[in-house]
A and B are shown apart, each in its own frame.
Chain A
Amino acid sequence: MAKEKIRPPSIADFPGITPGGFRFLQQIAETLRTTYGFHARVEESAYNWALADLTTDAAPHDLDMSAINGAKGAYAAVLSVAVRDADAAGSEFIIRPKSFSGSYNVFKIKTQVANVVCHGTAIVPLDSSLCMEYIADNVTWDAINIGVVGWFI
């Protein structure tokens, strides 16, 4: 069945409204449509975080996205994550909200064989400072790369 086409509202749908009032409603609708939802980041030429930026000691550390101006007000980040450990299978990398202390309903990626990259996509809630946190096993990683794909506002 063909999808029903929804007609944009006209001023006639709002009896008694003034032209200025109708314009105000249109502006609100436009702001809702263009501001809220998923925002894709423009194509980047490098990862946002690489191994050298991260601390791999099995403890939580901040992953701060506040440097990305367009993401102000975002409540969740969409991340592309790649990890590799040249020496080991089973090395684990976690990204989770800052308020969490456990690691059940969080993003996790684990090397399946030594020296082969594992890729994953994460959606992680942000706090009001655009921060989340990561935990990397205390092993000799040879790559952890994180790129920001976009965010939800």
Chain B
Amino acid sequence: MSTRDELYRRFGPVFLEAIVRIIFSEINILRTRAGLEPRTIQQGIDSIETQVKQLSAYQWMDKENG
């Protein structure tokens, strides 16, 4: 069994994707119970892409020295 120490050290793109997939599968359980069709992973990817494009960088991201 993974510990908190080990698990969150995996922070990175794959870890982020795993979280998104978990959220999706949990949402789809609720959608199925509510009689709605499940969302596909591709729909999720498209939604995230749309959101990312709408957001701008934080001010501190523009500083050369962080």
Q: Which residues of A contact B (CB under 8 A)?
A: 87-90, 113-116
B9 on the A face (CB < 8 A): yes
The 6 A-B residue pairs with the shortest CB-CB distance, nearest first, are A114-B12, A113-B12, A88-B9, A114-B10, A89-B11, A115-B12
**Nearest A residue (CB) for B14:** A115
Residues of B within 8 A of A (CB-CB), count? 7
Contact assessment for B9 and A116 in the assembled complex, using a CB-CB cutoff below 8 Å: no
With contacts A88-B9, A114-B9, A115-B13 known, what are 15 further pairs, Cβ within 8 A?
Answer: A87-B9, A87-B10, A89-B9, A89-B10, A89-B11, A89-B12, A90-B9, A113-B12, A113-B13, A114-B10, A114-B12, A114-B15, A115-B12, A115-B14, A116-B13
**Separation in Å of the B58 CB from the closest CB of chain A?**
17
- The complex places the Cα of A132 from the Cα of B56 at a distance, in Å, of 45
- Across the interface, which residues of B come within 8 angstroms of A88, CB to CB? 9-10
Contact assessment for A113 and B11 in the assembled complex, using a CB-CB cutoff below 8 Å: yes
- The complex places the Cα of A90 from the Cα of B6 at a distance, in Å, of 11
24 pairs from A and B in contact (CB 8 Å cutoff) = A87-B9, A87-B10, A88-B9, A88-B10, A89-B9, A89-B10, A89-B11, A89-B12, A90-B9, A113-B11, A113-B12, A113-B13, A114-B9, A114-B10, A114-B11, A114-B12, A114-B13, A114-B14, A114-B15, A115-B12, A115-B13, A115-B14, A116-B12, A116-B13
- 1/0 per position for B2-44, CB-CB distance to A under 8 A? 0000000111111100000000000000000000000000000
**Separation in Å of the B18 CB from the closest CB of chain A?**
11
- The complex places the Cα of A87 from the Cα of B11 at a distance, in Å, of 8
- The complex places the Cα of A87 from the Cα of B9 at a distance, in Å, of 7
- Across the interface, which residues of B come within 8 angstroms of A113, CB to CB? 11-13
- Across the interface, which residues of A come within 8 angstroms of B15, CB to CB? 114
**Separation in Å of the A139 CB from the closest CB of chain B?**
9
